[in-house]
Amino acid sequence: MWKQLDVEGWNARRRGSLSKVMGPVKEIVEAVRERGDVALHELTERFDKVELDDIRVTEAEIEEAYSKVPPELVDALRTAEKNIRAFHALQRPADMWLRDLAPGLSVGVKTSPLRRIGAYVPGGRAAYPSTVLMCAVPAKVAGVREIVMCTPPPVNPLTLVAADIAGVDEVYKAGGAQAIAAMALGTDSIAPVQKIVGPGNVYVTAAKMLLRDEVDIDFPAGPSEIAVLADESAEPSYIAADILAQAEHDPNAACILVTTDQVLANKVGRELEKQLARSDRQDVLKRSMDNIGYTLATDLRSAAAVVDMIAPEHLSIQVSDPLAVLNGIHNAGSIFVGRYAAVACGDYASGTNHVLPTAGYASTYSGLDVMHFMKRSSVQVIKREGLEAIGDTVEALAKAEGLTAHARSVSIRRQH
């Protein structure tokens, strides 16, 4: 089970799964494109084994969901929502700013929210009310007017309560690649959205990638991942617990320990066996063991370089001086510093977002935040004295490029 990994081969496996499903996903997308709601009903019956009367969740169903969720869980969701909202409020930029570059020349940026976004929330193996909050709360903070959510049926009451607390406007009983296609392309029941966010399995991720010409997406967010960077000072039981916490999400979850200490690696392997034996989600965990292991580095600088090559979704740093190591990390979706920073805290209630790029995409993408739901327009306010200050430059460069009309659009103003 616990083994030393070839990092390059492990990376290739976690990145190669998308190509294997592109064919079937393309067929699903085309079915929704051509037949809309009819295809959604058929695909839901085929994949989720559920016959739907109505795709949209009603207000009555949401009210009923509250009666099925214990009050302490409702309170927990509200606490999590509060922390997530507070963290993301810190990210929200000013609606507009202007700065003077020269007399009569001011430049700045106007920031505007998207109007309608779609959030995908996984279902099936588990309920993910936390993902509802992670997708919808930053959109609300950004000022998005319409938040649409798709999730596979049957929809867990906890998910519906989370949607209500987070301010989701429309909830639909649709999962998988077909839900992504419906939000991107539109059907009679689901009006198209401008952007789709949220994690999912490899089929969901493939659909998002296929539909990028039709709708904006956040980033590829597939099966969960964790890299733990640890030295001899780390507690093996904590590392094993963090690995199993991510592995229980999905059989394709990828987990790796990057360490400078073989003795620690051996101890973590023994801890994994002990904790796995008493874990609840044995079916998922045992299948995900194929994607779990460790690699050795000669020192912490080399270990950080390995982490950067992996570009993991989650990174846990458990070394004697974690802040020193943190400065050497450049590629990671969300970073957890110190032995007490359980990755599960970021999944639920620390306030940071758990919708993160996977499969190495953390090397080029950032995790979900307020700016994913906003767009920026540059602004320039130019008065006569400002035009005079830059007019010669504009005219000279325009003429050099052979764009005489550009030059004339400036000179005609300077003549009056």
Q: Active-site residues: which are they?
A: 313-314
The residue type at 267: K
Cα dist. 318→3, 235, 275, 321 in Å? 20, 8, 19, 8
Q: Residue 384: in which H helix or E strand, if any?
A: helix 384-400
In angstroms, rounded to a whole number, what is the distance separating the alpha carbons of residues 13 and 403? 51
What gap in Å lies between CA 46 and CA 138, rounded to an integer?
A: 33
Contact (CB, 8 A) for 358 and 221 = yes
Strand spans (E) along 114-194: 116-120, 146-151, 170-173
261 CB-side CA count, 13 A: 18
Task: Give the other-Cβ count within 10 Å of 212's Cβ.
Answer: 11
Residues 296-313 as b or e (16 or more Cβ within 10 Å = b): bbeebeebbbbbbebbbb
Cα–Cα distance, 97 to 120 (Å, whole number): 33
Give the whole-angstrom CA distance, residue 177 versus residue 163. 21
Task: Give dist(CA 295, CA 300) in Å, integer.
Answer: 12
CB 159 within 8 A of CB 121: yes
Q: How far apart are CA 218 and CA 362, in angstroms?
A: 12
Most distant pair of Cα atoms in the chain: their distance = 84
